[in-house]
Amino acid sequence: QRARQLPTLSERDVVNEVVGAASAAVEPAREGPRVVVLDYGAKHNIVRSLQRRGAAVTTAGPEATLDTILAGRPAGIVLANGPGDPAALAGAVELVRDLLRTDLPIFGICLGHQLLALAAGATTSRLPFGHHGSNHPVQDVRTGAVHITSQNHEFQVDRESLPAASGFYVSHINLNDGSVEGLAHRERPVFSVQFHPEGCPGPQDNQYLFDEFFALLAARAGE
């Protein structure tokens, strides 16, 4: 009886439960490209992976607005991971939709990937069986390469719901159940993955995705 009375994930504001007060700047003094990490419960190794490549990283919490983000003149945006049902985060989806109207490189991870999909017009749903652990095979359909990934999520992007007019396509698939594991835009510097390229602990196969993001930052800086 007590278990039936518990609220579902969709009824809880779990992002604010884990993020807490407004996020502060992490290391804004570096000389490298300024990257804003939208923190919905971000793993520390996302920030470290960016810093190792020379980024000046700032974090912004769920209360961030487009104006406050752009005021820092970022070179790119990382939509970080976090808990819960992405469809319950209407404000975050609207912010990502606004960010998509800019020309900034954007990299989504886990919940950030789902928010990006929702902003592009897709839907999400709960997986029959959640993905957890560090041994999930994922294929990068752009190259055919298969990587072992670290995962921890209960929701997925619904493949058939992704509008063709959005410009996004499925870039990664889960080889266990065929679910969507990544999206990329055909023309713009925007992509995302469902798994954790920063996996810590976890396989380091997927750190190459941070290199891809930095290549997009460098390309934009050279325009």
Catalytic residue among 11, 31, 196, 200: 196
Task: From residue 74, give the alpha-carbon distance in Å to each of 99, 104, 110, 140.
Answer: 12, 8, 21, 28
Buried b (16+ CB within 10 A) or exposed e, 98-136: ebbeeebbbbbbbbbbbbbbbbbebebeeeeeebeeeeb
Catalytic residue among 110, 136, 147, 185: 110
Enter the DSSP assignment of 121: T
Q: Is 132 a catalytic residue?
A: no
Which residue in this structure is represented by tokens 């039936």? 4
Three-state secondary structure call for residue 66: helix
Q: Is 147 a catalytic residue?
A: no
Catalytic residue among 131, 198, 200, 212: 198
Decide: residue 5, CB within 10 A, 0-12 exposed, 13-18 middle, 19+ buried.
Answer: exposed
Q: Which are the catalytic amino acids?
A: 110, 196, 198
